[in-house]
Structures are given as C-alpha cells and as structure tokens.
Amino acid sequence: MPALQQRPGDLALLCCFALLLPLLSHGADIPLGSTLSPRNSASWSSPNNTFSLSFTPSSTSPSLFVAAITYAGGVPVWSAGAGAAVDSGGSLRLSSSGDLELINGSGVVLWSSMTGGQGVTAATVEESGNLVLKNSKTTLWQSFDHPTDTVVMSQKFTSRMNLTTGPYVFSVDKSSGNLTLRWTSENTAVTYFNKGYNTSFTGHMTLSSPTLTIQTNGLVLLTDRRLTSSPVVVAYSSNYGESGDMLRFLRLDSDGNLRAYSAARGGDAASEQWSAVADQCQVFGYCGDMGVCSYNGTSPVCGCPSQNFQLSNPSNPRDGCRRKVDLENCPGNTTMLQLDNTQFLTYPPEVAAEQFFVGITACRLNCLAAGSCVASTALSDGSGLCWLKVSNFVSAYRSPALPSTSFVKVCFPGLPNPPPSL
C-alpha cells in the first residue's frame, strides 16, 4: 500500500488545530495549560452549552473584562476573583501545576484557586454551572464552594460561605439559620437585615449546619440535619411552580438587597421573583454617606439632607453627599436643621451606643451640644427613642409614612431643601 503523501502546510494546520482544542472545550475536559483571553471569543462550556466560562465586558468599564460563568444568553452566575477586572491583555489560565489563575495584562496574578501541586489534571464546566478542578478520582476544587454574588439551582449555600458585592455581605447564621445582610467598611459592620425563618419549625433550636438552596420550582429553602420535619420555606418565588427551560438563582445585588430571579434560556435578562428587604430605602448605605433615600413613585432615589450639602458624585447620586462647609471650619457656629418624616438608620451594633429616651427638643439640643454628634432622630411612635448619630457613616430615609423627625448638624445658616414638586 503506497504511503500517504503529506502536503506542505498539513503539519502547520494540525498544530494550529491542536492549539485550538483547549479553547473549543464544549463539555470536554479542559487540559492543563489551557488559557482564555479577552482578545478572542473562546469559552469553556458545559456539555449542552447551558453554561460557559469566558471573558465578558465589565459593567463598570467597557475597556475592562471579567472572567465569568454565564447562563445561556449571558446572565452571569460566578466570576473569578469576585469580579476582578483585567484589560485586554489579561487571561484566565489553568497552569501546568493545576492552579487556575486570573492574570492582568502586566502579568500580575489577581486571583488564584490555590490548587497548584494538589494533583489537578483537568477542569470542566458542568451542566449545573459548577466549575470543577479535578483528577481522575475526585473533585479538588469547585466554584460552588466559592460563590461570588450568586447561588444557582443545585448549589448549596452553607453557613461557611458569603455572598459579596461592593460593601455588602450576605450569610446564613450557623446557629439560628437567620439570613443576614451586612454593610461593611474597614473595621465597621452594620447588620441591617437579620431574619429568622426556622422558628415555627424548630422552636428556636440551635442548628448544626444550615444550608440555603433555591429549587427548580422557585422555592427558597433552609435545610439542616436537625430539622426532623420538612425543610423551612424561606420564600416562594412569585412564579412558584412554573416550569420551562429556565434558570432560577439567588443574587446579592449591588444595591445591597438579596433577590430571587428566574431567567429564560437564551435571554440576557432576569426577572425578579422575591426580595429579602421589601423596602429598598431600609438598606443601610444605599445612598452613600449622608445620602437620603426616598421614593419617586416606586423607584428609590438618592438626594442630600439640605442645601448645606452637595452630591459627592453628580453622575451617581448613590455615592452620597458631602458638606459644602465642614463642621470643623465653623466652630461654635453650628445649628440643627430639622428634617421632617426622616430617619437616620440605626442598626446593630450602633443601637446600644446611640439610643436614648428623651423628647424631641432634647434630642436636637443634645446632638448640638455634643461635638461628636452629626445628626439625630426622634421617633414619634410612642417609644420615646432618640438616636444620636456619632458614626463616621450616616445613612438616611425620608418618607411621609415615617413617624420621626430628624436633625442634621450644619454650619449656620441651615439651608433646607426646596419642597418636592407635586
């Protein structure tokens, strides 16, 4: 039998095809040495292309990119380095030692799975959306154990994990199973949502390892081995029971609220089905430092307490407000400006240190006299409570339904905001 003749260029073509194999990983194992880059449209996909890992444009800058797992259609569910962005010269590399690394254009490793030298032989993106680093026998690392801001169906979110976005953190309390939302800054943490769902089932029993999941039917469930009866239903999605080719997921959004969503396969948008905090203005820090949250119809909007302040970033009112004249520049010439139907939010651990039982006049004057106090709130709900705000970060809420009067310390003269237009 005559030998096959090799035409010029065949070897080069075969070499190029071999190099492309790691980039065209649709459901196959991803070998060591594989790399993704923003400069091409390559992706690592699950067997049925339900989920894929690739670089997508950053939501904050079109010139930067995030290595993210997305549902068919483009809804992101996980990102390397919790959303760390790289320029077009960056890459996501499964190194020869088995380490998954996010590298910027300067060659600096921004994030690593820390699995080098542990025996990883390949990676795979599963139909569940889980990115797995493995060898022939076992899983050595998986993205489901390291969530960023999202929990998808079949993923178990335990008390050992956090969801994070910006200054906000979501967790499940290990002992009580309470869902907890916190605002964090340097060494400060404010808990603005801490709700228990297991009381009627457990009689306040201490749990061992509570786990939160979202089911294919839209139920958000809390399970624990000490719950001898059925799991606790945390929430019913508003489209509970509806079926179809869709993804259901929980996400901690950048506005500090935890929500349940559903997304149709092939669609690039998700529909909200439930939110943990029903009133968005109750989310601490939503309008930034010294920002005041109110509503324009059903939409939350951010503004400043008075004309003694200006927006820190006019293009983004959520960045808060700053004083036109700092208090230290007007010693002995300050006044308390009254803000009707306004409340300076006070949550743990602030409550104990800032809470007093005095009348509305004393609430105003005590803050005026205290050098560390920047604002105060007198509740008119019969409790007699007064909150003196001495923290470095102040978050406010204004609504006609709020039974409270607040005061903000400003340099004289106090300049109230004009009344809202009807």
- Among 145, 171, 194, the domain boundary falls at 145
The verdict on residue 10 lying in a domain is no
| Residue 16 scores a pLDDT above 80 | no
Q: How many domains does the chain contain in total?
A: 3
pLDDT band at 62 (very low <50, low <70, confident <90, very high): confident
Whether the pLDDT of residue 206 is over 90: the answer is no
Q: What is the pLDDT of residue 419?
A: 84
212 and 299 part of one domain:
no
One domain, residues 366 and 303: yes
The answer, yes or no, to whether residue 200 has pLDDT greater than 70, is no
Same domain, 118 and 224: no
CATH number at residue 91: 2.90.10.10
Name, in order, each residue with C-beta under 8 angstroms of 298's C-beta and a sequence gap of 6 or more: none
Q: Give the pLDDT of residue 421.
A: 63
Two tokens at 13?
Answer: 């073509």
The stretch 120-137 carries a mean pLDDT of 98
Domain holding 196, by residue range, is: 150-278
182 forms bridges with which residues in the sheet?
169, 191
- Give per-residue pLDDT as tens, 233-264: 999 999 999 999 999 999 999 999 999 999 99
Lowest average pLDDT, out of 168-172, 224-228, 238-242, 297-301, goes to 224-228
121/179 same-domain check = no
- State pLDDT tens for residues 354-372: 899 999 999 999 999 999 9
> Is 7 part of a structural domain of the chain?
no
pTM of the predicted protein model? 0.91
Of 233, 249, 278, which residue constitutes the final position of a domain? 278
Average pLDDT estimate for 198-218: 81
171 and 140, same structural domain?
no
Q: What percent of the chain has pLDDT over 70?
A: 91
Give yes or no: residues 190 and 300 share one domain: no
Residue 22 within a domain:
yes
Round to whole Å and give the CA distance between 375 and 289. 12
Mean predicted confidence (pLDDT) in 180-208: 83
Q: What is the pLDDT of residues 64-106, one digit of tens each?
A: 999 999 999 999 999 999 999 999 999 999 999 999 999 999 9
pLDDT of residue 13: 40
Regarding whether 296 and 269 lie in a shared domain, the answer is no
Instruction: Supply the pLDDT for residue 312.
Output: 98
Do 27 and 95 lie in a common domain? yes
422 is a domain residue = no
| Whether the Cβ atoms of residue 224 and residue 209 lie closer than 8 Å to each other | yes
Geometric angle at alpha carbon 55, from 54 and 57, rounded to 5°: 140
